[in-house]
Structure 1
Amino acid sequence: MQQIDASAIDAVGIPRLLLMEHAGLAVVRAVHHLVPDPSAPLVICCGTGWNGGDGLAAARHLHERGHPLRVAVTGPLDRLREEPAAYARILRGLGVAPVECLTAEALGPLDEWLAECRLVIDALLGIGARGAVREPAASMIERINRSGKPVVAVDIPSGLDADTGRIQGVAVRATMTVTFGLAKRGCLLAEGPAHTGTLVVDPITIPRRLLETAAA
């Protein structure tokens, strides 16, 4: 799937920011399927990579629809890549400042946010993550699972290996997973189905010929 993304961006010329925007909108549709109330408070947990950028893109649209938001990011905002950083700046301009949660010890407020929210969006780790989940993401995942709240996972539940479906130490148990382009093997194998929940595949405007070639 990373190869498909690269082809869409480099060969076809679709800006990564546009793919991220459509990924965010796909997440919004999933959220509203589970929680139609636009006043429902939400927590969005983001990593520092492209997956986190998808979560930040979703945050912008959810804010515009009226949801009270808490947005946590597992790294320094000034080290985000170009596209996630753009969404972080937009959110700050809208008055929804993402909060840096750099260590497991800094996650204290998250328990309160999770207790108050109606749904959690997991945008911590994407399909490129390898090896055991590190802090602070590991502790964040444990808190999300412990909260008992519905979870929408972005592309793949954080901590689930995208190829094998094996848990990388700890993994989010999602109610629904919105995956992009094609279903990820890890969602269908081993522990994948138990952590993926309902699987929704959204093309996010990736050209059909790229998806058909990859699926062949």
Structure 2
Amino acid sequence: MSDVSKGLVLVVEDERPIADLLRLYLSREGFGVQVERDGLAGLDAARRLRPVACVLDIALPGLEGTELCRRLRADGDWTPVIFLTARDDEIDRILGLELGGDDYITKPFSPRELVTRVKALLRRAAVHEEASRVRAAGPVTLDPARRAVTVWDRPLTLTATEFDLLAHLLSRPGRVFTREELLATVWGYTSHGGTRTVDVHVAQVRAKLGEASRVIRTVRGVGYTADA
């Protein structure tokens, strides 16, 4: 039986060897693990069990992982999601992130790396006492303690990763953060080619900010900054 001291992780993966390996590694780190092998069962488990994180294969029988995630987000469920896929192309990557995924890893992968990413997501989702100061830039206000963002006093819904990315940029207005810094600090890891993930998330945050997107400025060839 898994030690659930760190909460339950839902793994939806139809390849039994991969699912069993993830169960083993996550359990060793103190997580409870629920494995489902098709998308519809995974959606039911996510709604019923309220896991702390979901690891979703994209190519699932019954209901693809991206659609599973879309339905959760439509329910207002912003549980951190990591997508697994054997398809390493930009269309899949951007589609997954646009549907509210927080991270993306391509098969074959190291189970240790996936566990590291799950832990990093959960660290970012937690409220950090030292970062409780409300931050503002133009019409955008971010409250880390409540994990709430408003634009012109209207609430804005962000994924856990989008929130943490915006919070990090707003933590030091005018300071330019490189893509590598953001990947290491916000995502909690570095990987070859991972900076594209930063660009996709920044684009998603800007799209949600609408006319207020000007608070995030691109510094060409370097990274991003928030203008106060």
TM-score normalised according to structure 1 size? 0.32
- Whose RCO is larger (CA < 8 A, sep 6+)? 1
More strand, by proportion:
2
Structure whose CA Rg is larger: 2
TM-score normalised according to structure 2 size? 0.30
